[in-house]
Amino acid sequence: MRKFMLSLAALVLLVPMVGLAADVQNAEVVAKDTLVHNLYLAGQNPTVDANVTGDLVVAGGVVTVNGDVSGGVLAAGSTLNLNGTVGQSVRVAGGNINIDGTVGGDLVIFGGNVILGTKSVVTGDVMVFGGTLDLKGTVKGAVKDTYVGTVNLSGNVLGDATFTRVGMLTVTSDAVVGGALKYSSQNEGTIASAAKVAGKTEFTKVAANNKMNRWTPNVGSVIFGISMMFITILVFMMFLPKFTKEVVNNVLVNPWAKLGAGFVALIVAPVVMILLAITIFGLGVMGYLAMIYFALIALAGTVSAIFAGAYMWKLLRKESDYVLDWKTAAIGVLLVAVAKLIPVIGWLVALVLFLLVFGTLVTMSFDFVKAQRA
């Protein structure tokens, strides 16, 4: 489990590390004869046919990687097709993920439907968090820390195959497991008698009301939520471009003061509303204050993703000013979504970002009120 959490942390940390020396592009196709080292690519349906001599970071709708990547790959999209050879680890998130290439390191996946095709080879370990996993290829390491609804295992796993939480497990007659086969589920899996398992097969029965049901994510809902957040941000930036720009520009102006203002407002406002609610004359005021409070919270959540993407883009491109468009919006949504998946560290980063933006909005609101009263 520790390695799984470290891999999730690396998913976020890899973005700035890779991006600092990256060739940043907004293109649909990177041609095969293009020479690139580190590549940072965003597009509607980006395709990488070129060979990348460094790391690859790519995001879009349908993402296709046909070229070879000597470094690592970080990718996100509704659909991901990885057909080339990757020298190091691959970390991906998406609705449908198809791996038919070679991965030189570990493979970490957040996905709805995950297929490791018959041509796929993973040198390291495989960790999957998602809806379905169809493993037809070869894993030279182990399958571990895997939380999946349905698993179909018909390929080769040289190490242990451990499915920490699984809804239904099917092991076909073609499957080969070099180590132990361990899984926890409400239902006993279907394991063909001809399947070759070198180690022990261990099944842990999980009760119907266990933590698995409470914590196993609905991947489709997560992807839908991310998509809706992206669309909301685009609409917000379209109709309130000046306001959005002003907020983003002010977030890092005296950031400690903004952080403090956000924290104080987040804690003090509910207390004030409760005190007003228990008084006869404070109900009306409490109602208005509550509407403003929750509106600012919702607004802070939206602007946090906008700021995260704009700040990352400014850092990568070494721009003198923030850029607010669909590319930075997509980057921001991805960064915030992934950060929230990481316990403690990710949540702390997301909280600090939220408080900075929330404090900025609170400060701007007070400044607006002062200006009106002057």
pLDDT band at 181 (very low <50, low <70, confident <90, very high): very high
Are both 270 and 207 inside the same structural domain? no
**pLDDT number for residue 151:** 95
Are both 203 and 309 inside the same structural domain? no
What is the share, in percent, of the chain residues with pLDDT greater than 90? 31
For 324, other C-beta atoms within 10 Å of its C-beta total 20
Residue 31 vs residues 46, 58, 67: alpha-carbon distances, Å = 11, 15, 9
pLDDT of 169 above 80: yes
Are both 207 and 227 inside the same structural domain? no
CA distance 269 to 330: 32
pLDDT band at 8 (very low <50, low <70, confident <90, very high): very low
Residue after which a domain boundary falls, among 178, 197, 215 = 215
∠ CA(54), CA(17), CA(91), 5° rounding?
70
CA distance 339 to 348: 9
Are both 162 and 232 inside the same structural domain? no
Q: Which stretch, 16-20, 129-133, 210-214, has highest mean pLDDT?
A: 129-133
Look at residue 183 and give its three-state secondary structure: strand
CA distance 240 to 245: 9
Are both 190 and 243 inside the same structural domain? no
Q: How many domains does the chain have?
A: 2
Residue after which a domain boundary falls, among 215, 244, 276 = 215
Dihedrals phi, psi of 340, to nearest 5 degrees: -70, -15
**pLDDT number for residue 345:** 80
pLDDT of 98 above 90: yes
Domain that holds residue 83: 2-215
Are both 302 and 204 inside the same structural domain? no
**pLDDT number for residue 228:** 64
Report residue 39 as tokens.
């590549």
**In contact, 9 and 108? CB cutoff 8 Å:** no
Report residue 243 as tokens.
């306001």
**In contact, 353 and 303? CB cutoff 8 Å:** no
Rounded to two decimals, the pTM is 0.57
Are both 233 and 181 inside the same structural domain? no
- Strands (E) located in 100-235: 102-103, 107-116, 121-122, 126-135, 138-139, 147-153, 156-157, 161-163, 165-171, 176-177, 181-185, 190-191, 196-197, 201-205
Are both 98 and 23 inside the same structural domain? yes
Residue after which a domain boundary falls, among 166, 188, 215 = 215
Q: Which of 27-41, 67-81, 133-147, 277-291 has the lowest mean pLDDT?
A: 277-291
pLDDT band at 6 (very low <50, low <70, confident <90, very high): very low
Dump pLDDT digits (tens) for 19-66: 444 555 556 788 888 888 888 776 678 899 999 999 888 877 788 999
More confidently predicted of 115 and 266: 115
CA distance 182 to 198: 12
Are both 96 and 170 inside the same structural domain? yes
Are both 333 and 185 inside the same structural domain? no
Are both 204 and 294 inside the same structural domain? no
Are both 184 and 37 inside the same structural domain? yes
CA distance 157 to 180: 10
**pLDDT number for residue 36:** 85
∠ CA(190), CA(192), CA(198), 5° rounding?
105
pLDDT of 215 above 80: no
